[in-house]
A and B are shown apart, each in its own frame.
Chain A
Amino acid sequence: MDTKTYMNERIKEKLDYKKMESGLKVYFIPKKGYTKQYAIFATDYGSIDNMFTPVGEKGKIELPEGIAHFLEHKLFESPDNSIFDRFSQLGADVNAYTNFNRTAYLFSSTENFYESLGLLIDFVQSPYFTDENVNKEKGIIGQEINMYLDNPGWRVYFNCLKAMYHKHPVRIDIAGTVDSIEGITKELLYKCYNTFYNPSNMVLFVIGDLDFEEILKVVDKAEKKKSNETNNIERFFPKEPREIREKLIEENMLTSTPIFYIGFKDSDIGYSGEKSVKKDLVTDLVLDILFGTSSKFYNDLYEEGLIDSSFGAIYTGDKTYGHSLIVGESKEAKKVYERVVQLIKRPSEELFTEIDFERIKNKAMGEFLMGLNSVEFIGNTFIDLYFSDFLIVDYLDLLESISYGDVIERFTEHLVEDSMVLSIINPLAK
């Protein structure tokens, strides 16, 4: 039996691990003195995984956009329609989310934790799809899609992705469209379920003032014993050119000020593990030094009235794609774009000093430590890092190991004008 304990004295946290016979991996962080308990059961399956070889079949299939998210909604079905009720009766607050890369089912509680945990594992492992319940969900998800369509921040983001990517499915809306979800059937949902919801493709993370042995007992009792281990699910991604697709997308909708997203498409992709997480961290440091609230760029543009406190920059990526996003509101988004272009053309030694680098690194370390106050932050960060083959307990040490040279190198190869796009949402003409 594969069991381990990871200790990190600096963050004063401990992580317990056990791999169950089914192939399911269970991780636990004890949080003494916390009232709240949190469990998250996640699978390595997100909106971008819509071309794959279904388990037990040969050859690839391509499925309707939004099916991973649809499946997430539908796992809450059972023959007696009682999943919500049962969590409610236990006093646990259940929820779920789907993003580009994964689907997660979670609950938080302040009592009846172990019973709720058993229920979580049981319902995620007991799909129940019927023609009727699949059709019924189309109306609900249709309203969810419409809600996002009215959100200018969401639209400007997806337009930015569409400008950067030619074919990669990260350009597709996570929930799909009102039309695409019409094509979803119970048969397709079972295909996805059987392929991606195998214990070996999943992870369970638990945090709270709890006992690991007790957790393992619950898991052992609740989980489905038979596992068709599919360690390598075949996923297919269309070949994505290195180049961006289009330089500018503009759209008008009901909003007050123009909103912009400037994207830098990353061509240095394909990593996992420490290398991939380090790249994320280094890129975020680069962006914070250049565009953060203590940067010359931020303060100059703020004082000129070109940006406001909504301005910020972040890197996000996975094995098959990655991009930096510089976002904000501005009456003159194109001018902001031009200023970014001018900035990145300057020599790196002018833009980065060692003092700035050290200060920003300290900030990143402090922010991570403060995040560890929150069981939700720890849970969600754990899951994100875990599917990049990295453990949260090693995060602070990795961050600390980053050198000034790493930042210069990353800046030079990543922030180049050719890989830049601009997405703007303008207010409706009056």
Chain B
Amino acid sequence: MAYTILILVTHINLGIVKLISEKGGVNLSLKSERINIGNGIHLNLIKTSKFKSNLLSFYFLRPLSKEEVTRNALIPLILKRGSKEFPNNLSIQKKLEESYGADLSIAINKRGEKHVLRFTVESINGDYIGDKNYIYGVMELLKSIIYNPVLENGYFKKDYVEQEKENLRRRIEGRINEKRSYALDRCIEEMCKNEKYSIYPLGSIEDLNILDEKALYEHYLSVVKTSPVEIFFVGDYDHNIISYIKEIPDLNRGEILSLPREQITSGVKTKNMVSEDLDVTQGKFVLGFRTGIPYEDKLYRGLIVGSDILGGGPNSKLFKNVREKESLAYYITSTIHKYKSLMLVDGGIDFGNFERAIDIVKEQIAEVQKGNFSEDDMEISKKSITSSTESIRDSIFLISEYFFSQKLSNDYRSLTEIVDDINSVTKEEVVEAMSKLALDTIYFMKNSKMMG
């Protein structure tokens, strides 16, 4: 398949705001059955026959901290190399291929100040291949990878550990390859210097150097014993599948970690201006704002709508003014970071236009704060938020992520309620929410060689 250039609305999913909504109607309802199957372990079942596949995911939750971030990041990479039953990558991959191309994926993310390790398999529904039972093999593979790693002298296998340390080192160094996400990360790092949210989820190279197979195996044991675990199955299932998933090692889990809600800072003590001089063709800027509005607060909904009016889609003030009117940028957007109540505005421009672009951003924010936007703008943003979130029900993966985020934010409103809440946002609420913006940090990516 050919490479494509996507224009207009650059959808870069930074794992930030995801709101969900539900349309009425019987066959559209999404329900999760939540069962406690062990100390701190919950199985969430979402029954649907809409998809051609089934999905099984395990999420392990950890605190996001300097002490353990690099260890956490390495564990899925090492586990994915082999288990007792499938001792190397070759045997794992063959098993997946024999299972009609079942997809095994791992992910290491931060959600607010929580570090989340995810292990997932998605496999084709047995109806399509005339083999109802092969799914047990796929589930066995996933459980084996998580709970039964290959050991050598009682610890992780040394070769696997060394190779994955090297791979992780390259991935950490590779942050710079994606300049836009690098710029956003750097802004957050500077802005949240004294908060855990600044921690890069793949860890740091200094920490890598001191880790060995023994330290990592010991950490692994504490991950499987002390982490809250959320398991999701989305698809068509019966009793046998449920009881099969429930069979996971007991491990004598003792005290389970409790992960506190993130602290929210409002107002700004010291304003920050950071610039990096890199050999790049395009200049980039990121403006980091604190809103101080927690997601539990009713006003948070006004912030979501306000950010969309400012820099959501092609109807937004930033798109219209920075891009369409002044031709300064190809992308210019505003996004909310839910768990820390931050708002980031980022754009890519010529080096000479930094000041001009930032002036326009400030002007447009002031417009929103003054209430200079129409009912129509409100409606458009509400529709856009509703529509993109309703679409989640068409993706087996996003359905599981949605129920997981419910758990993360302790927000069990029904889907219909969430959409209704967005639709009930008033202009006054948008103005009030946006008036709380406090500019904290400006990050520039520049190139002195090209700036003359």
Which of A85-93, A212-220, A345-353 is the interface stretch? A85-93
**Shortest CB–CB separation between residue A350 and chain B, in angstroms?**
17
A360 and B94 alpha carbons, distance in the complex (Å):
9
Q: Is A121 an interface residue (CB 8 A)?
A: no
Whether B2 pairs with A101 at a CB distance below 8 angstroms is yes
**A110-B391 in contact given A35-B23, A89-B376, A139-B327 (Cβ < 8 Å):** yes
A137 and B8 alpha carbons, distance in the complex (Å):
12
Nearest A residue to B99 by beta-carbon distance?
A366
Question: Contact size class for A?
Answer: 35 or more
Q: List 28 A-B contacts (CB under 8 A).
A: A11-B128, A33-B27, A35-B23, A35-B393, A36-B390, A69-B7, A88-B313, A88-B380, A89-B379, A111-B383, A143-B349, A143-B350, A147-B330, A147-B348, A150-B179, A157-B3, A254-B176, A254-B279, A255-B177, A293-B93, A299-B90, A308-B170, A366-B101, A369-B53, A369-B124, A373-B51, A373-B53, A380-B1
A93 and B173 alpha carbons, distance in the complex (Å):
35
Whether B100 pairs with A365 at a CB distance below 8 angstroms is yes
Binary interface encoding of chain A residues 1-41 relative to chain B, with 1 for a CB under 8 A from any of its CBs, else 0? 00000000011100000000000000000000111100000
Nearest B residue to A363 by beta-carbon distance?
B101
**Shortest CB–CB separation between residue A380 and chain B, in angstroms?**
8
A175 and B278 alpha carbons, distance in the complex (Å):
24
**A256-B176 in contact given A72-B7, A88-B315, A370-B53 (Cβ < 8 Å):** yes
Binary interface encoding of chain B residues 311-342 relative to chain A, with 1 for a CB under 8 A from any of its CBs, else 0? 00111000100011011111100000000000
Binary interface encoding of chain B residues 172-207 relative to chain A, with 1 for a CB under 8 A from any of its CBs, else 0? 011111111000000000000000000000000000
Nearest B residue to A135 by beta-carbon distance?
B327
A12 and B176 alpha carbons, distance in the complex (Å):
44
What are the residues of chain B within 8 A of A204 when measuring CB–CB? none
Which of B159-167, B217-225, B432-440 is the interface stretch? B159-167
A73 and B330 alpha carbons, distance in the complex (Å):
11
Nearest A residue to B22 by beta-carbon distance?
A35
Q: Is B281 an interface residue (CB 8 A)?
A: yes
Whether A33 pairs with B28 at a CB distance below 8 angstroms is yes
Whether A91 pairs with B383 at a CB distance below 8 angstroms is yes
**Shortest CB–CB separation between residue A330 and chain B, in angstroms?**
10
A397 and B141 alpha carbons, distance in the complex (Å):
29
Binary interface encoding of chain A residues 66-78 relative to chain B, with 1 for a CB under 8 A from any of its CBs, else 0? 0001001100100
What are the residues of chain A within 8 A of B103 when measuring CB–CB? 367, 370
Whether B348 pairs with A256 at a CB distance below 8 angstroms is no
**A97-B4 in contact given A256-B176, A294-B93, A329-B170 (Cβ < 8 Å):** yes
Whether B97 pairs with A88 at a CB distance below 8 angstroms is no
A20 and B359 alpha carbons, distance in the complex (Å):
51
Q: Is A384 an interface residue (CB 8 A)?
A: yes
What are the residues of chain B within 8 A of A96 when measuring CB–CB? 7-8
Q: Is B122 an interface residue (CB 8 A)?
A: yes
What are the residues of chain A within 8 A of B315 when measuring CB–CB? 84-85, 88
Whether B387 pairs with A91 at a CB distance below 8 angstroms is yes
Q: Is B102 an interface residue (CB 8 A)?
A: yes
Binary interface encoding of chain B residues 256-282 relative to chain A, with 1 for a CB under 8 A from any of its CBs, else 0? 000000000000000000000011111
Q: Of B178, B394, B396, which one neighbours A36 at CB under 8 angstroms? A: B394
Whether A365 pairs with B387 at a CB distance below 8 angstroms is no
What are the residues of chain A within 8 A of B6 when measuring CB–CB? 95, 97
Q: Is A153 an interface residue (CB 8 A)?
A: yes
Q: Is A124 an interface residue (CB 8 A)?
A: no
Q: Of A34, A91, A254, A380, which one neighbours B384 at CB under 8 angstroms? A: A91
Binary interface encoding of chain A residues 280-316 relative to chain B, with 1 for a CB under 8 A from any of its CBs, else 0? 0000000000001110100100110100110000101
Interface size on B, residues (CB 8 A): 81
Give the 7 A-B CB pairs with smallest separation, nearest first: A139-B327, A366-B101, A366-B100, A91-B383, A363-B101, A294-B93, A146-B282
Q: Is A364 an interface residue (CB 8 A)?
A: yes
What are the residues of chain A within 8 A of B393 when measuring CB–CB? 35
12 additional A-B residue pairs with CB within 8 Å, beyond A33-B28, A84-B319: A33-B50, A94-B9, A95-B8, A97-B5, A138-B327, A140-B330, A150-B281, A292-B93, A316-B1, A370-B52, A370-B103, A370-B122
Q: Is B33 an interface residue (CB 8 A)?
A: no
Q: Of A34, A152, A314, A365, which one neighbours B394 at CB under 8 angstroms? A: A34
Whether B3 pairs with A299 at a CB distance below 8 angstroms is no
Q: Give residues 225-269 of A contacting B (CB, 8 Å).
A: 253-257
Nearest A residue to B382 by beta-carbon distance?
A91
A38 and B328 alpha carbons, distance in the complex (Å):
31
**Shortest CB–CB separation between residue A124 and chain B, in angstroms?**
14
Q: Is B386 an interface residue (CB 8 A)?
A: yes
Whether B170 pairs with A257 at a CB distance below 8 angstroms is yes
Q: Give residues 358-394 of B contacting A (CB, 8 Å).
A: 376, 379-380, 383-384, 386-388, 390-391, 393-394
Q: Is A428 an interface residue (CB 8 A)?
A: yes
**A256-B170 in contact given A36-B394, A97-B4, A144-B330 (Cβ < 8 Å):** yes
